[in-house]
Chains A and B, each alone.
Chain A
Amino acid sequence: MSVSALKATSPADAAVVFDGVSKHFPASGQSGAFTALDNVSLTVDRGSITGIIGRSGAGKSTLIRLVNGLEKPSSGKVLVDGVDVGGLDEAALRTLRRNVGMIFQHFNLLSSRTVFGNIALPLEISGMDKRAIEQRVRPLLDLVGLADKHGRYPAELSGGQKQRIGIARALATEPKLLLSDEATSALDPETTQSILELLKRINAELGLTVLLITHEMEVVKAVTSDVAVIDHGRIVERGHTFDVFTHPKHETTRALLSGLPGSKLPDAVARALKAQPAPGDRAVVRLTFFGAAAERPLISQLIKSVGAEVNIIAGTIDEIGGAPYGSLVVAYGADAETSGRAERFFAENGLVTEVLGYVA
């Protein structure tokens, strides 16, 4: 199931537009011909933090490399600020790249250069003079909180600090677009959070568009406003992050979401789950609630209106893209009367429900 129509936004507002992009790699050596991307169309809104999530090998690395021309599409167009990247010659491509920052999973810092020297590198490449470089690098060091480390070498720093240098380096040429290639995948959860916070701040303060690829739902949940799910080279689902998280449609999305804490049923319940109810069984139902509903005393109201025993099996309250979101798995009598009352209650309160199965 491929979504090929563009979103409603006009391309003029878009930072990046993928228009029917495919990428094939010819057979070489032992590996056969391979289609990395299959007719991908996607719009990245200006000022957004857009995430592309997929398993490894889904094609997301290829996709992000099309934006700054590190890879060329086999067919289709990639527009950055309305300019067709595929149509640029090497010189024009270099100019474009100087206006698109990129950060990497393994940081890719020069070990022979200090922190300052690494951040200065893209400016040296663009031919800026020393004084101007100095003036540009200082505030960046402050921005990423490494002013006191400017004379250190990367080998002396932690992973999180290295990625901060990577971010400062990517911002040095004052780009309008930042590409993030699994930037937090080599970091521990705590450091990941602080790097994501930094990306959010940069997005808000500098108005920078961020396009990030990741295989971690946590990352998408924490920072992105929009998300696209990629699987086997196709975009299988996309939309506002909140909508995709609360109403996942494609099985790949569901599979990726199931890794999140609170999304999984306890093993004992999952094993006992049956598709059809027997008399006396209880229904296991997932309730999803957001916005105002997340803050109401729903459980006590539910128990009152159902008038029966309600078991809470699993639950989580969280935030997605800044909006509160709750997921609760409950069990109650599967008989027609109880279920009917429960369904009425859910409808009155605008809750999204999903019957997962039945247990004895």
Chain B
Amino acid sequence: MSPDILLRIGGATVDTIYMVAVAGLIGSLIGLPIGIFLATSGKGELFPAPTLNRIVGLIVNATRSTPFIILVVAIIPFTRLLTGTSIGTKAAIVPLTIATIPFVARLVEAAIREIDKGLIEAARAMGATPMQIVFKVLLAEARPALTLALTMTAVSLIGYSAMVGAVGGGGLGDLGIRYGYQRFMPDVMLVVVIVLIVLVQLVQSAGDGLARRFDKKNRKT
């Protein structure tokens, strides 16, 4: 393999990490409150707003069921509005973020719904406000599950980021298709796949480790 190709693989790795990190961060920051809202706004819950809950749930489902590659193309005008361009790594971050938000929201909702209702009742009996219950009880108790949810998000994002090559997004997936497949360079393809596996593995191990550290429930004594 020529040094030029190795350099390209290095650059593509950086691009992938960059896209995943930025889309993951922004998507999680927006998805987290939406997930909290979904988990707490049902009838008789902390912030009862059943109608809005259903509407948000519907939008989330619609976004999640749109195939990612269609989402990428469909929101090109929006992407251009935000970044001034529809191609390149920066532009690819927009559809990645949009796809991340509902993904995170549903995972966060599930993580919070797992929490024993008795804890909410106990906090109410202590005179906690709904906001105090969210921050001191729900988020604190769901921390291990939330960590795993964000890990899963990052792993999925690495997969999605391979698809934004279709709009010139760059990154490892793009490189694999253009060099490995279209220019018949199976060795490039192999390296790309291995780098992706290593990335996923690293993210997963880090997430698992962190979740274990946060989990005081299933501790071995």
Contact = CB atoms under 8 A, between A and B. Distances in A.
Interface stretch (A121-129, A306-314, A337-345): A121-129
**Secondary structure class of chain B's binding surface, majority of residues:** helix
Contact of B141 (A97, A106, A112, A155): A112
Given A108-B118, A124-B136, A98 B126 contact: yes
A108 B115 CA distance: 11
Contact of B129 (A94, A112, A113, A153): A94
A125 B132 CA distance: 7
B182 to A, nearest CB: 51
A301 interface: no
Interface size class of B (residues with CB under 8 A): 20 to 34
A192 interface: no
A149 to B, nearest CB: 12
B216 interface: yes
Interface residues of A, number: 29
B219 interface: yes
Given A108-B118, A110-B137, A155 B219 contact: yes
A156 B218 CA distance: 9
A112 B216 contact: yes
B118 A106 contact: yes
A258 interface: no
Given A110-B137, A155-B216, A70 B221 contact: no
A125 B126 contact: yes
Given A70-B124, A110-B141, A112-B140, 19 more contacts: A70-B121, A93-B127, A94-B129, A96-B127, A97-B124, A97-B125, A102-B125, A104-B118, A104-B122, A108-B121, A110-B119, A111-B216, A111-B217, A113-B140, A121-B126, A125-B128, A153-B216, A155-B217, A155-B218
12 contacts: A70-B121, A97-B127, A98-B126, A102-B125, A112-B143, A112-B216, A121-B123, A121-B136, A153-B219, A155-B218, A156-B221, A169-B126
The 6 closest A-B pairs by CB, nearest first: A97-B127, A108-B122, A98-B127, A94-B127, A111-B217, A153-B216
Interface of A: 68, 70, 93-98, 100, 102, 104, 106, 108, 110-113, 121-122, 124-126, 153-156, 169, 173, 179
